[in-house]
Structure 1
Amino acid sequence: MFAGGSLQALNRLYYDVEPLFAGDRRLLIRYALFHTERQASGRRFSRQRDIDWLDWDSVTTDPPDLLVSSGATNTLYEAGCDVALVPHGAGHNRFTPYFEGVAGLARGQLRSDDGRLPAFLALPGPASAERLRIDCPEALPFAEITGDLCFERLRLSTRMRREYRRALGLDPDRRLVLVASTWLGRSLFAHHPSLPERLLAALPMDDYAVAFVPHPNILAVHGGMESLFRRQLENGLIMVDPGEGWRAALLAADCVVGDHGSIGFYGAALGIPTAVAAFGFEEMPPESPLAAFGRLAPAFHAAGDLFGQIERLCDADPIRDECFSQALAEPDPGPSRRLRAGLYRTLSLDEPAGPDPRMFPPPTPVPHWRPTSAWRAEVEIDGGDAVCRRFPSDDGRRGPGHLVADVRCLDVSARDRADAIVRHHDALSDGEAQQEGLLLLDEHPFAQVASVRTDPEALAWACADGRRFRTVCDPELADAAVSVWFAAGRPDSGEWHVNGGTVSVHRIR
């Protein structure tokens, strides 16, 4: 039986551990939720995946042969059966506020009131074994350094990076900035709650995308993240399913801005350039691998030049230090083989040939996610050459440049304040495009121009002053074309070299 009390605990069991036992008909695998203050997230996880879980009273009445959990608590011993523990974070690093020691290894979590200990205790690295020697040395005979299942799957899934990026709508040259936050008062989100949306607005959208991965426990402290970032989600900010999605998104990233949570540590261990915008050194022993990482990682200054810092971070060298191997061992055979063997041994069953660990599937953005559909355009013109940079603008606030809204934009304020309205996602006939342009201008009194695609390389423009234009450009320059013409003073004709292509504008009326 697998038992957990929160989303992240069940996550490891469901995605990492259970598949290792697929096909063994000797085993009946069930799930149970034990009592915890964060049980609501575990219930939500179970409902979304149609897991038929047992309540804890049923488990204690009819105990299984083995209880496997990724959340250490002496509550598990109430079942009266053997207990096996696997970790659910990047090592054992942080103090628990309820017992003396670090979370997952404290005596108050590992030992029952009558002195029972786990029959099998999987440790991700040598640093955890050393900490166990301090916090609960009597559990050492039952412990084994298996390595970390999550890190093993991350390593194996690196070959899927291109597919993960395609699933998130990223072109090969576009960089993904992943913002990750743990929970409680020293986290990135507690210190800088607006950092994801500020990064979204500060980075050129054709060169960068921003993803935000909050710890599931933030839901219990701060409320629903999708609700807080609804406007940004509908204008390009990426959030993914908190199950497997965050791991695929991490592998798709070009840099990570994090804190003392596991995601930043995993990212740095994988060689992804990582900076920290907050760090809770007070929450961990100074000799822990996580603390060592915190001292090595460059600081990200949320009040500083966001664009410049991200540019430098993406080009930075990886952090190389033994703190990663101390926290996340990579033995041979690997974590999946060792953990599987240990659990079969605890069950006193012969271990059959089994499946290898699985790579992560491509990530799926949350339901409210939509591509950027309202942006602020800044254009630099030097004679016949022009550079256009676009920045997401979800609420229509004025700033440098001018505002452009796509007809698929759902934000009323952004559309009402836009200088230009564009319909470029597919082509209309010339006559229909001319009519559509007039209707768009009528529906958006502030707009000075409406641009409608008529074929892959041609646009029809209708202007509020009555003029009509035909514009020819490369398909990918359609959005930039209207901005360059707008910045050039809206002339009757012109030709510019823009971002490696050509835009040609001619008045037809």
Structure 2
Amino acid sequence: MSEYLRAGLRLVPPAVGWQHTIVAADVVLGDHGAVTGYSAAIGRPTLLATFPDHDVAPGSVIEALGKSAPHVDFRQSLHEQLHRAIGDYEPDQFHTVRELTSSIPDESARTLRQVFYQLMDLPEPDRAAVVRPFDPSELTIEDGIACAALVSAELSSDASVHVTRWPADVTSHHSALHEAADIHLVVRSDHPQRDLLTHAAILTHQNPPNDMHADQALAEIMANYPACRLAVVANSERTGVLRHRNGDTATAEVVDGPGDVALAGSAIHAWLASGRPWPTLPDKIVITHGPFRTSIQLSVTVPMVT
């Protein structure tokens, strides 16, 4: 799963954590496994990505799931299908799944404890059986960080840029995205895949060591990666320094909205691609990405000419 983790996937452990996840989910996309069945049984909008009918027992809860849950059409937009599953969900959609999952809802703790003590030939405690809630702190997610992205950045005004990002680790390098003129590759400098690093138009460096100045980190990026046109050194997630290969430099700070300074790199890339020179960059630029709006403050400098 390493490529997908580098694309931003958050991976839930297989044994503990799926319970917390389906309780919190807005929509579940699954297969013919038990977790997908439980998701539908507790009332979560549920879709099926795959469903091998020959592996499903007739009359089972999973067969009922296959008959009541929509199946994903991978020729269509997954984004739209997920939202449709939420919008079209009816409370009784998985009525049969829920009935087959348990004939004694809310009584399983009492019934199971009774069976366990009978099997051990011990007297059952006279207090009520405890149903312990799932503690969020017990869920330890393997949290992926997006390390490489194919980015489309389009100027919508003199101080506004629309950015769309696709995870480069799981997007074909021969896809039509690469053929589009406005697509550029943004990669973190610690990415393990060398071909992505050597083809990146923008390279980002996260939190340089205390003994390394931002100027040194920027210089090393430019020296080590000749294809890089713009380097970004992030002092934190919301502040950083950007330098073009010709020496033009700017500092950036995210002042409003979610986002990171790498967004500023893509905005500047779009600015320069439109034929506008570096010194004319605005003091503040608004970037829309997905449903978000991020405001970034820029402070531009140009190299001294002697």
Q: TM-score range by the shorter chain?
A: 0.7 to 0.9
CA positional deviation for 1:245: 2.8
The one of 258, 261, 281 aligned to 1:494: 281
Deviation at 1:449, TM superposition (A): 0.7
Report the counterpart of residue 342 of structure 1 in structure 2. Answer: 115
Structure with the bigger RCO (C-alpha within 8 Å, sep 6+) is 2
| Structure 2 counterpart of 1:480, from 260, 263, 267 | 263
Residues 1:269 and 2:41 aligned together: yes
Task: Give the equivalent residue in structure 2 for 1:419.
Answer: 201
Q: Distance in 1 between matches of 2:78 and 2:116?
A: 47
Q: Deviations over 1:74-132 (max 9, x none)?
A: xxxxxxxxxxxxxxxxxxxxxxxxxxxxxxxxxxxxxxxxxxxxxxxxxxxxxxxxxxx
Q: 1:364 to 1:380 in 2, by over 3 A?
A: same
**Cα distance in 1, alignment partners of residues 109 and 238 from structure 2:** 53
User: May I ask how many residue pairs the two structures share in their alignment?
Assistant: 278
Structure 2 CA distance for partners of 1:358 and 1:457, relative to 1, 3 Å: closer
Superposition TM-score, scaled by structure 1 size: 0.49
Q: Which ranges of structure 1 fall in alignment gaps of 5 or more residues? A: 1-228
Structure 1 residue 486 displacement after superposition: 0.6
Which AA in structure 1 matches 2:228? A
From 139, 143, 150, the counterpart of 1:363: 139
Residues 456/331 of structure 1: CA separation in 2 closer, same or farther (3 Å cut): closer
Secondary structure at 2:295 match in 1: strand
CA distance in 2, matches of 1:479, 1:241: 30
Partner of 2:296: 503
| Native 8 Å contact 1:428 1:454 kept in 2 | no
- 1:7-406 equivalences under 5 Å are 229-284=1-56, 286-318=58-90, 320=92, 321-329=94-102, 331=104, 334-352=107-125, 353=127, 356-361=130-135, 362-365=138-141, 370-383=144-157, 384-394=159-169, 397=173, 399=177, 400=180, 401-406=183-188
3-state SS of paired residue (1:437): helix
Q: Which ranges of structure 2 fall in alignment gaps of 5 or more residues? A: none
Q: What SS class does the counterpart of residue 10 from structure 2 fall into?
A: coil
Distance 1:314 1:436, change over 3 A: farther
> Per-residue displacement from partner, 1:13-67 (whole Å, max 9, x unpaired)?
xxxxxxxxxxxxxxxxxxxxxxxxxxxxxxxxxxxxxxxxxxxxxxxxxxxxxxx
Q: Which amino acid aligns with 1:293?
A: L
TM-score of the superposition, structure 2-length normalised?
0.78
**Alignment partners' CA distance in 2, 1:393 and 1:358:** 42
Q: Within 2, Cα distance between the matches of 1:333 and 1:271?
A: 15
SS in 2 for 1:474: strand
Deviations, residues 471-496 of structure 1 (Å, cap 9, x unaligned): 34337341211111112225313232
CA RMSD of aligned residues (A): 3.0
Is the partner of 1:409 in helix, strand or coil? Answer: coil
